[in-house]
Structure 1
Amino acid sequence: MAEDARYALDKCMWRHAMPCYGGRMSTPDLNLLVTLNALLAEGSVAGAARRLGLSPSAMSRALARLRATMDDPLLVRAGRGLVPTPRALALRERIGPLLREAEAALKPARQLDLATLARTFTLRTSDGFVENFGPRLIARAAREAPGARFRFALKADKDSAPLRDGSVDLDTGVVGAAAGPELRVRMLFRDRFVGVARAGHPLLDGEISAERYAAARHVCMSRSGQDRGPIDAALKALGLTRNVSTLVGGFTAALALARATDLIASVPERHTGFLRDGMQSFPLPVEVPGIVISMIWHPRQDADPAHQWLRGCVKAVCDEQLDADGGSGGSGLDPSTPASRV
């Protein structure tokens, strides 16, 4: 009997999905399940109609469709009411759980329980961002959502595909021209470029003019391998050319080389927040547009409560760190310059 009931229910759900003449397919009428559930619960056409907000005649037509589809009377007259057939009784065991599962799937997401959240978030960001803000982010997550884990992925480029396919949850950095127009962006802070040299470097002995700065040997960060950027454009306007001898893929590597050699590094000021002993930063001798660091995500994550929590945490820890450091270090700067090569 159970196998017969399972076959009958499958027939009810999918009969209308079978191929029709002409090759057309029609979708199953799942409303029939709701109708049958109400009829079995109420035991009468009038009661089922009231339960679903239908007229008795509409419910009678629905029952007729059910009988034709199932090839079974389903409910038969017994005095003033209706009683289910054996097949209908067997089907009732499956219809209830099916409808409850469908209702649960269509309900709004439950309120996020941070205490039980178990999820790994992938953040694509710079090593300097991790160094500056990672400790606060990890500490905050440990307090609020101890089951949350972070995977910090370094940025090889600004490709938006990882945000679209979900392999990256959140990106931080300067919004480049290649960013997809559908991406969501929220500013975190402004920054500006400064020069960095080892303590005792000859450039630090006296006024750092544009001429002396350009003549020094430089290490530059470039993901694309280009050896000219906004600083070089500013120097070119003065008839000067910077002596670039080394290119690296990240600002942390540039700082490491500047610390151990006579190379000059030019990096966002936030990257100098944890300068090692024996290093010194200085303002650039030319005007260079500042940058805006933002967090970037795909709109598919907008309504996800866990992702909303992540975005709130990142913004909060950035604000806290900036307040602790006395400000962003770059207030009012032009946000238009991508940090692809400086």
Structure 2
Amino acid sequence: MSRVDLNLLTALDALLTERSVTAAAQRLNLSVSAMSRTLARLRTATGDRLLLQAGRSLVLTPYAEQLSHRLPALTREAEALLKPPDHRFDVAALEHSFAVRAGEGFIDLVGAALTDRISRAAPGVQLRFTPKSDWDAQPLRDGTIDVEIGTVRTSAPEMLTRLLLRDRYVGVCRLDHPILSGAGVSVGRWLEFDHVLTARPGEGSNPVDVAVADCGTKRRISIVVPSYTSAMQVARRSDLLAVIPHSCVGNSFAPDHAAANGLQWFELPVSTAAFNVSAIWHPRLDGDPAHRWLRGEILEVCLRAYPRNAFCGLPPPTM
């Protein structure tokens, strides 16, 4: 490629179209002598005379005639490749499948509303939710995952994030559980029962167990499950107590989700910090119009689903 000068394409197109060194020079805002030197370079590069004198005008060689049919499209394509992209974006015409990694709670409570909103704006778009089994950033890096929803626990420093909502942990049990018989749930009463723990591979210390340890005691864990949805189902069918994010209890789209699943939630008798739920993506997709639109839709649905929890009164971030 060291011998290829793409500027020669534009000059050759002008020469073959105008069939005049002078006219081609005027078209490209060059001097006649500069265009003559360019013609000489083109003759050397192609091994063909290209333009020959015929009286007072120039005529094309047979090879130049062939090139004249191919050059306009080739020149336009080369110029388009080396220009900034056209960011005009028609969401209604978008045909794409987005991979979203999210927990089962987000899928259960927000997935339907998000899909409905996206389908109305872009019928050709499909959402493909994938299991959130860990916090490995590689799927975001290699494009297997377009965006992840959850807490930021990746060590990949290049990832971009936007806050979707603030969440906190609450307790949950079956509707007729004995722990509900008192006026409130004390630490002692709460620890009388066995618990179901939600944990994923690579997860560090559980903040609830850290808070319990600060009280000088610990929970009895009877079963460990990989998702909050599974924890809720185990609690529904047993005397076990579970700890889940408050966002899994219900939202504006499903206000009675816990009760509909035979569960009652309660405030934990130990103090745990609130945490952020964010959208996470790789910078490679940050400027992509389709991906930017998807992030905006996710943000808007979360605002509608959790209006009291979103941003704690702060203005919503742009996506």
TM-score by length of 2: 0.90
Q: How big is the shift at 1:94?
A: 1.4
For 1:320, the equivalent position in structure 2 comes to 304
1:241 maps onto 2:218 in alignment: yes
In 2: Cα distance, 1:155 partner to 1:48 partner = 61
C-alpha deviation, 1:295, in angstroms: 0.2
Match of 1:53 in 2: 29
The one-letter code matched in structure 2 to 1:197 is C
CA 1:227–1:90 in structure 2 vs 1: closer, same or farther (change >3 Å)?
Answer: closer
Aligned residue for 1:102, secondary structure, equals: helix
Letter aligned with residue 163 of structure 1 = L
Give % identity. 46
Q: Is 1:128 the counterpart of 2:128 in the alignment?
A: no
| Offset, 1:82 | 2.1
Counterpart of 1:284 in structure 2 is 268
The reply to whether residue 188 of structure 1 matches residue 188 of structure 2 is: no
Rounded Cα–Cα distance in structure 2 between residues aligned with 1:111 and 1:68: 41
Determine if the alignment matches structure 1 residue 251 to structure 2 residue 235. no
CA distance in 2, matches of 1:165, 1:227: 25
Task: List alignment gaps of at least 5 residues for structure 2.
Answer: 251-256, 314-319
**Which secondary structure state, in structure 2, belongs to the residue aligned with residue 99 of structure 1?**
helix
Determine the structure 1 residue equivalent to 2:280: 296
* Structure 1: 5+ residue stretches without partners: 1-16, 18-25, 333-342
1:223 aligns with 2:207: no
2:81 maps to: 105
Contact 2:52–2:59 (Cα < 8 Å) also in 1: yes
Aligned counterparts of 1:225 and 1:32: Cα–Cα separation in 2: 57
For residues 226 and 304 of structure 1, the distance between their equivalents in structure 2, rounded to whole angstroms, comes to: 31
How many angstroms apart in 2 are the aligned matches of 1:163 and 1:225? Answer: 17
Q: Does 1:203 align with 2:179?
A: yes
Q: In 2, are the aligned partners of 1:191 and 1:331 still within 8 Å (CA)?
A: no
Give the equivalent residue in structure 1 for 2:316. Answer: none
Question: Contact 1:121–1:150 at 8 Å: present in 2 too?
Answer: yes
State the alpha-carbon separation in 1 of the partners of residues 219 and 150 from structure 2.
Answer: 25
User: How far apart are 1:27 and its partner, in Å?
Assistant: 4.7
In structure 1, distance between residues paired with 2:191 and 2:38: 85
Q: Which range is displaced more, 198-207 or 306-315?
A: 198-207
Conservation of the 8 A alpha-carbon contact between 1:225 and 1:247: no
Task: Judge conservation of contact 2:95–2:124 (CA < 8 Å) in 1.
Answer: yes
The offset of 1:299, in angstroms, is 1.0
* Count of residue pairs brought into register by the alignment: 304
RMSD (Å) for aligned C-alpha atoms: 1.9
Q: Is the 8 A contact 2:21 2:32 kept in 1?
A: yes
**How far apart are 1:319 and its partner, in Å?**
0.6
Equivalence for 2:317: none
SS at match of 2:99: strand
Q: Any conservation in 1 of the 2:160–2:282 contact (CA below 8 Å)?
A: yes
1:3 aligned residue: none
Query: After the TM superposition, which segments of 4 or more aligned residues of structure 1 sit over 6 Å from their partners?
Result: none
**CA deviation after TM superposition for structure 1 residue 257, in Å:** 0.2
- Residues 1:160 and 2:144 are matched in the alignment: no
- d(CA) in 2 for partners of 1:167 and 1:315? 21
